[in-house]
Amino acid sequence: MKQLGIVGQSVRRTDGIGHVTGTTRYVDDVFYPNMLWLKMVRSPVARGIIHSVDTSQAEAFPGVAAVITARDVPNNWYTILGLIGIGPNDEPVLADSEVMYEGEPICAIVAESEEIACEAASLVRVEIEEQEPVLDLEYALSPQAPAIKKWGNNTYMYDGMDHRQVRFGNIEAAFAQADHIIEGSYQMSPIEHVPMETHVCVVNPEGDGRLTVHTNTQALYFSLDNTAIILKMPTHRLHFIGGTVGGGFGGKVDVITEPITCIAAMKTGRAVKWRWTREEEFRRSSTRAGAKIEFRDAVMNDGRIIGRKVRSLQDAGAYHRHSPYGLQKHMANVAGPYNIPNVWIDAYCVYTNRQPASAMRGFGVTEASFAVEVQMEKIARTIGIDSWEIRMVNAYRNGQMRAIRKVVEDATLVETIKAAADLVGYELPAHLRAMHSNDYTREDNDQSHGEGAPRHDR
């Protein structure tokens, strides 16, 4: 292997001096002369029908430059997954006829100061006929629940199906053959990214008709493209500037500030800043999805898992955001980094009336790894196999076939297990120490490529 000179060295960060002197520039440090501040008026209820929105008192409040409602949004749909073929559009930029989560944006106040904007926002009168929210995953899937999505059910539709699935091998044969059937149910509630820097966006309308958009998005061009679609504006009129983010963790990929701030800048002809409060970050910004994952495993006495059946529900909250994508990532990983010849997975992206879930550090894999590894421990404890052994026996090797029908390469799970044992001073028995990720050799009668009966032996 080539000898590396600079790659592999712990050189000091190029932005390190900027950080420790407080001179690194963030979006909240961007100021324009005569800049206006934006505050969002949001739904007080989790589900309801909007009957009226009266902004007259807010508009008349001294220091208010503009009020932005759904009528001001040229293409009032969040299109963020449209660019990668996920649809249909389900989330308005500003709520128009209904609200689907507590905190959903309804209208924006643009004013001379943050304080004036807040004061005026409190004068907006919204009449909403409250409806019973759908909050529980199982209830949302049941026929008793009202369909809160316009296509008539509460799941994302993938190729005409209400779930994504993996079918690999013959799960029923595995159950029939198993020495043990081990079940487990794993759940997590939504959590928040909590970056130290909240969402901030500053837009300046330029003299040449372009908009300069300063944003702490994690994805500049993605945000630009979506903003252009929402504004019905050619992309060459948008200039996005960013690149320094005070913590992202997946929470700044929803294009949630730029379109509205652009509209405000165009409507007023002045620079506009929208800085989210910490309360908005906790209560209104996207979260990690809540999840419920159920396992039913077919296990042999020697610890080999020969079949895994998974039913997984992801709580996307009120709207798509990135959840339909994340659910697929989850599906690809929820059988775990293990060689299991028979796998059956049903994974559902479920909608409820809560603040939308979206990407967060580990997206889809966090809950998969949690469920897989606690289930693994449960198996070990139930059948009386050592915790280290059960993982090493089942760990996938290079050359084996994953349930999603991709050949394993770059596998190093076994190596990390051995290294961790060394680190904590745990002496693995010789037969485990001898294992490595390249110790799998394909036999002629090997049926690990998925079809046919489960393998009995190694």
| Binders of another protein in range 192-221 (CB under 8 A) | 192-198, 217-221
Question: Does 144 contact another protein by CB under 8 A?
Answer: no
Cβ proximity to another protein, 91 vs 315, nearer residue: 315
Binding flag, residue 310, another protein (CB under 8 A)? no
Q: How many CB atoms lie within 10 A of CB 131?
A: 17
Tokens linked to 268: 């007023």
What radius of gyration, in Å, describes the C-alpha atoms of the chain? 26
Least separation in angstroms between CB 56 and another protein:
19
| Per CB under 8 A, 410 contacts another protein | yes
State the Cα torsion 141-144-148-152 to the nearest 10°: 80
Q: Using the rule CB under 8 A, which residue among 57, 189, 433, 443 binds another protein? A: 189
Output the smallest distance, CB 139 to another protein, in A.
8
Query: What are the φ and ψ backbone dihedral angles of 300, each rounded to 5 degrees?
Result: -90, 165
- Which DSSP symbol is given to 152? S
Q: How far is the CB of 406 from another protein (least distance, A)?
A: 6
Please name the helix (run of DSSP H) or strand (run of DSSP E) that holds residue 397, with its range, or none. Answer: none
CA distances from 369 to 186, 275, 351, 363, 409 (A): 11, 35, 23, 11, 19
What b/e readout covers 304-327, taking b as 16+ CB neighbours within 10 angstroms? bbbbbbbbbbbbbbbbbbbbbbbb
User: Taking the complex as a whole, how short is the minimal distance between the CB of residue 128 and another protein, in angstroms?
Assistant: 16
Q: Are 425 and 388 in contact (CB under 8 A)?
A: no
* Binding of residue 308 to another protein (CB under 8 A): no
Stretch 80-99: interaction string toward another protein, x if CB under 8 A: ----x---------------
What track of x and - describes contact with another protein for positions 1 through 40 (by CB under 8 A)? x--xxxxxxxxxxxxxxxxxxxxxxx-xx-x---------
d(CA 67, CA 390): 61
Q: Residue 377 class from Cβ within 10 Å (0-12 exposed, 13-18 middle, 19+ buried)?
A: middle
Residue 206: φ, ψ to 5°: -90, 160
Instruction: Find the binder of another protein among 49, 60, 176, 419 (CB under 8 A).
Output: 419
181 interacts with another protein by CB under 8 A? no
Residue placing its CB nearer to another protein in the complex, 72 or 104 = 104
Nearer to another protein, 87 or 362 (CB): 362
- Binding residues for another protein restricted to 320-379, rule: CB under 8 A: 325-326, 328-329, 331-333, 336-337, 345, 352, 354-355, 359, 361-366, 369-374, 376-378
Q: Is the CB of residue 105 less than 8 Å from the CB of residue 69?
A: no
Site for another protein in 439-458 (CB under 8 A): none
Binding residue for another protein (CB under 8 A) from 48, 92, 105, 184? 184
Type and span of the H or E element at 79: none
Rounded least distance, CB 278 to another protein, Å: 4
Choices 52-60, 71-79, 146-154, 249-257; region in contact with another protein by CB under 8 A: 249-257
Residue with Cβ nearer another protein (110 or 238): 238
Min separation Cβ 71 and another protein, Å = 28
Query: Counting contacts by CB under 8 A, is residue 156 touching another protein?
Result: no
Would you say 281 and 198 are in contact if contact means Cβ atoms under 8 Å apart?
A: yes
d(CA 139, CA 354): 14
CA distance 409 to 80: 32
| 60 vs 420, beta carbon nearer another protein | 420
Q: CA-CA distance, 94 to 99, in Å (whole number)?
A: 10
Question: Does position 239 bind another protein by CB under 8 A?
Answer: yes
Question: Quick one: which of 39, 76, 109, 168 contacts another protein (CB under 8 A)?
Answer: 168
249 φψ region: left (φ > 0), alpha (ψ -120 to 50), beta (else) = left
Q: Count other Cβ atoms within 10 Å, centred on residue 422.
A: 12
* Shortest distance, position 286 Cβ to another protein, whole Å: 10
Shortest separation between residue 5's beta carbon and another protein, angstroms:
6
- Interacting residue with another protein among 224, 256, 310, 385 (CB under 8 A): 224
Under rule CB under 8 A, residue 167 binds another protein: yes
- Backbone phi, psi, residue 280, to 5°: -65, -40
Type of residue numbered 237: R
Q: Which two tokens stand for residue 76?
A: 């009032």
C-beta closer to another protein: residue 76 or 251: 251
